[in-house]
Amino acid sequence: MSQATGNLSPLIGHYVSREPFDPYEIEALTPEQERYYMASQWTLMWFKLKRHRIAVISGAVLAALYFSILISEFLAPYDLHTRNTGFIYAPPQGIHLFHEGRFVGPFVYGYNYRLNMENLRREYTPNPAKVEPIRFLCRGDSYEYAGLFESDLHFICPAEGGTLFLLGTDRLGRDMLSRIIYGTRISLTVGLFGITISFFLGIVLGGLSGYYGGWVDTIIQRLIEVIRSFPELPLWMALSAALPVTWNPILIYFGITVILGLIDWTGLARAVRSKLLALREEDFATAAVLMGASPRRVIGRHLLPSFMSHLIASATLSIPSMILGETALSFLGLGLRPPLTSWGVLLNEAQNINVVALYPWLMLPVAPVIIIVLAFNFFGDGLRDAADPYH
Amino acid sequence: MLGYTIHRILIMIPTLLAISLITFVIIQLPPGDYLTTYVAELQSQGETVNLAKINFLREQYGFDKPLHEQYLLWLFGMLEGNFGYSFEYDLPVTEVVGDRLLLSFIVSFTTILFTWMMSFPIGIYSATHQYSWADHGLTFVGFLGLATPNFLLALVLLYFANVTFGTSIGGLMDPQYLEEPWSWGKTVSVLEHLWIPVVVIGTSGTAGMIRRLRANLLDELQKQYVITGRAKGLHPFKLLLKYPLRMALNPFIADIGNLLPQVISGAAIVSVVLSLPTTGPMLLHALQSQDMYLAGSFLLFLAVLTVIGVFVSDLLLAVLDPRIRLHGGMTR
């Protein structure tokens, strides 16, 4: 054969142009067209995500909230633990702009305090004589930022000698707004660490199960089935009750995230498995195997990237259940404990019906919970739609 | 069908064994056992501890045996209907659990019925009126239900039920019926109280169900047989009910497997808030006081309830859908 071609080649003249080959010579693309036609998959996803307006807004809300945990100390008007013993269970102060028809800028009315001797209730009413303008970028409670430097700069503070309890105070006279802002830090990171653990477990176990099949698959699938047949919350309750009481709060925090992640991976593992089962029969996977790639390389380099976007979308959708889980556990007193402050820990104070009747503002930490869960759901939905840009 | 049922039952056996093993591991996780906690508590109160009695108890409950023997004792005990002993209540577990399991079952079952009743019409409406204002509104309300922690919803509803209807706070019946045998009045009283937990627990499940039914129905509505039916002049309502809806119904049955753990989870925390005489509050208390056999039995009951629920849903699916019956149920 090679003999034949060797003989033929000089006979048939074969012209090869030395010029570099340009496939778009005939149909030249303008830069805009090129940007669109030659876009990578991630760029296409971004194009599609941008069109989903609610998802973009939710993404922005999430980004803002996650950014806020970097500067909680600056945003909160008070320190996490500042007790204002004169203002216990004070109701929220409303922000006003006009005082007696005159513009004064944002200000709050100070409190009139009276102890009702009949039912021993603390009664606060706004005092129209006390106009307390809110200060911005001002000096307040001092804090140590990330162990780096000390500062007392806050975004907003009360007037000199005045109060600023925009969301009221709790049973120790601590400002709810500040506590909610600090609580964001814990509540949001619990979900993030938890999902990292569950993502890792899901990919590894789902990958093994889908790629190898056979008895590995059977065992992992049975394990998933068993874990899924436990109702989530009672199982979380049992596991977090098993965390030793002697642990310090930071260890408890990591314990809780591990527990949340350990139970949650089953859904992701199933998604990985079903995708792998379909993809491992594709030609490119066979080609990689024939070229001698190890299973780790085939899964990690060739198979995973083709459905990574799907995985990220479904992971985004399962973060809210972790945040809700932490909130529920802390609410029951099985999760995080003070001095760690998460939204669930704050809600722990709103455990009985008296709160609803007398101090409804103690239930306010539920508002950020709802917002963040909604935002994650909408954003995840948008991501999931965008994950399939050719659809 | 019989072959499928037997196959399904045989699969359940190793699952149940694994569940019992995991439960046992979990209740063994906390360091020490109930007796050490008990002794420590007595000592901290300055009371003398009768070591001979403690040792007797330890031997009695088999705490001195190695773990695997304890597990086997527990497992075989359960097969004989002996679920162990609750230290906290000084009673066999079966007697402590008693009514609570039944009430848990009633609450869960009613919640699932409620979920179906709510999500069925709403899902159909959302799918047939896609992208209308009502669709967006209902979807948003559904999302809101998904996002609100149900324990807080429970508190607020409880408050309003008390203020507007005068329903007594907490519990599943009026106080005078607590120790009474079942009667008409008691049943009515239970029904009066039942709606709050059912609505609260049902909200999140309903939201998910509406979304799935809507998505499934939308898929079906685009298929050609629907167009054919419409072209032949079939009444739209009849067309909807007769073909696409039947296809979209599968998730209602198939989802019992997902819905049931969710409902039981929800019920656990909601009943703590509402202090319902169901398994939730007692499980919490047993976990806190390391009353291990009681906690373990609850966890086991809840898991077994789920397994049985999934089993029933699989059987129903097989009845509905011949594809599953013939392929041994491996479609999920």
Distances from the Cα of A61 to the Cα of A51, A261, A372, B148, angstroms: 17, 24, 8, 18
Higher pLDDT, A195 or B168: A195
Give the residue on B whose Cα is nearest the Cα of A270. Answer: B332
The answer to whether B318 touches B324, Cβ cutoff 8 Å, is: yes
User: Shortest CB distance from B149 goes to which of A327, A334, A374?
Assistant: A327
If you average pLDDT over residues B211-231, what whole number do you get? 85
**Is B303 an interface residue toward A (CB < 8 Å)?**
yes
The answer to whether A284 touches A275, Cβ cutoff 8 Å, is: no
Does any domain span residue A326? yes
**Is A114 an interface residue toward B (CB < 8 Å)?**
no
User: Shortest CB distance from B151 goes to which of A242, A331, A370?
Assistant: A331
**Is B139 an interface residue toward A (CB < 8 Å)?**
no
Q: Which of A189-203, B54-68, B296-310 has the lowest mean pLDDT?
A: B54-68
Cα–Cα distance between A8 and B125 in angstroms, integer?
74
Cα–Cα distance between A235 and A318 in angstroms, integer?
17
CATH number for the domain harbouring residue A233: 1.10.3720.10
A270 and A363 co-located in one domain: yes
CB atoms within 10 A of CB B156: 16
The answer to whether B138 touches B120, Cβ cutoff 8 Å, is: no
Cα–Cα distance between A230 and A94 in angstroms, integer?
46
Does any domain span residue A335? yes
The answer, yes or no, to whether residue B329 has pLDDT greater than 90, is no
The answer to whether A370 touches A29, Cβ cutoff 8 Å, is: no
A333 and A382 co-located in one domain: yes
Q: How confident is the model at residue B178 (pLDDT cuts 50, 70, 90)?
A: low
Does any domain span residue A2? no
A115 and A145 co-located in one domain: yes
- The last residue of one of the domains, among A134, A164, A194, is A164
Does any domain span residue A45? no
Cβ of A347 within 8 Å of Cβ of B149? The answer is: yes
| Token representation of residue B223 | 């298929």
The answer to whether A298 touches B239, Cβ cutoff 8 Å, is: no
Does any domain span residue A88? no
A339 and A264 co-located in one domain: yes
**Residues present in chain A in total:** 391
Element (H, E) at B42: helix B34-44
The answer to whether B245 touches B128, Cβ cutoff 8 Å, is: no
A109 and A194 co-located in one domain: no
A347 and A215 co-located in one domain: yes
Tokens 């209308």 belong to: B132
A250 and A147 co-located in one domain: no
* Domain count for chain A: 2
- H helices within A245-303, ranges in order? 249-279, 283-290, 295-297
A241 and A350 co-located in one domain: yes
User: Shortest CB distance from B29 goes to which of A229, A242, A324?
Assistant: A242
The alpha-carbon gap from B159 to the nearest alpha carbon of chain A, in Å, equals: 7
| Residues of chain B above pLDDT 90, percent | 0
SS3 A72: helix
Angle among Cα A282, A286, A287 to the nearest 5 degrees reads: 115
A317 and A207 co-located in one domain: yes
Cα–Cα distance between A73 and A182 in angstroms, integer?
8
Digit-coded pLDDT (tens) for B67-79:
778 788 778 877 7
- CB neighbour burial string for A127-137, b if at least 16 within 10 angstroms, e if fewer: eeebbbebbee
Does any domain span residue A247? yes
Q: What is the pTM of this model?
A: 0.81
The answer to whether B251 touches B214, Cβ cutoff 8 Å, is: no
CB atoms within 10 A of CB B247: 15
DSSP-assigned letters across all residues of B275-306: T-SSHHHHHHHHHHTT-HHHHHHHHHHHHHHH
Give me the torsion for CA of A331, A337, A341, A344, rounded to 10°.
Answer: -10
- The ipTM assigned to this model is 0.79
A133 and A278 co-located in one domain: no
Angle among Cα A74, A80, A83 to the nearest 5 degrees reads: 125
With the C-alpha atoms ordered A88, A90, A93, A99, is the resulting torsion angle positive or negative? negative
pLDDT at B252: 73
**Is A55 an interface residue toward B (CB < 8 Å)?**
no
| Token representation of residue B54 | 């403690």
- The last residue of one of the domains, among A109, A139, A164, is A164
Cα–Cα distance between A318 and A195 in angstroms, integer?
8
A224 and A296 co-located in one domain: yes
Q: Which chain A residues are closer than 8 Å to B283 by Cβ?
A: 234, 237
| Token representation of residue A211 | 């790629």
Cβ of B22 within 8 Å of Cβ of A226? The answer is: yes
Cβ of A226 within 8 Å of Cβ of B152? The answer is: no
If you average pLDDT over residues B186-209, what whole number do you get? 81
**Residues present in chain B in total:** 332
Does any domain span residue A378? yes
Structural domains of chain B, with CATH: 2-92 (no CATH), 99-320 (1.10.3720.10)
The answer, yes or no, to whether residue B41 has pLDDT greater than 90, is no
Q: Which of A263-267, B60-64, B97-101 has the lowest mean pLDDT?
A: B60-64
The alpha-carbon gap from A356 to the nearest alpha carbon of chain B, in Å, equals: 7
SS3 A145: strand
Write phi, then psi, for A385 (nearest 5 degrees).
-65, -40
Give the residue on A whose Cα is nearest the Cα of B330. Answer: A221
**Helices B256-273 and B292-320 sit at what angle, rounded to 10 degrees?**
150
Q: How confident is the model at residue B273 (pLDDT cuts 50, 70, 90)?
A: confident
Digit-coded pLDDT (tens) for A208-251:
888 887 888 888 988 888 888 888 888 888 888 888 777 888 88
CB atoms within 10 A of CB A56: 15
Inter-chain CB pairs, A–B, below 8 Å? 126
Does any domain span residue A345? yes
In terms of Cβ atoms closer than 10 Å to its own Cβ (0-12, 13-18, 19+), residue A125 is exposed
pLDDT in tens, chain A (391 residues): 444 444 555 567 778 888 888 777 777 777 777 777 777 777 888 888 888 888 899 999 999 999 998 888 888 888 877 788 778 888 888 888 888 878 877 888 888 887 877 777 788 888 877 778 888 888 877 888 777 788 888 888 888 777 888 888 888 888 888 899 988 988 888 888 889 999 999 989 988 888 887 888 888 988 888 888 888 888 888 888 888 777 888 888 888 888 888 888 888 888 888 888 888 888 888 899 899 888 888 888 888 888 887 788 888 888 888 888 888 888 888 888 878 888 988 888 887 777 888 888 888 888 999 999 989 988 888 888 787 766 5
Tokens 């519990």 belong to: B171
Which residues are CB-neighbours of B239 under 8 A, at least 6 positions away?
B226, B229, B230
Q: Which chain A residues are closer than 8 Å to B299 by Cβ?
A: 230, 234-235, 238
Write phi, then psi, for B9 (nearest 5 degrees).
-65, -40
Taking only residues 70 to 129 of chain B, the set having a beta carbon closer than 8 angstroms to any beta carbon of chain A reads none
Cβ of A229 within 8 Å of Cβ of B303? The answer is: yes
A159 and A192 co-located in one domain: no
**Is A222 an interface residue toward B (CB < 8 Å)?**
yes
Identity of residue B89: Y
Q: Residue A118 is part of which domain span?
A: 93-164
DSSP A169: B
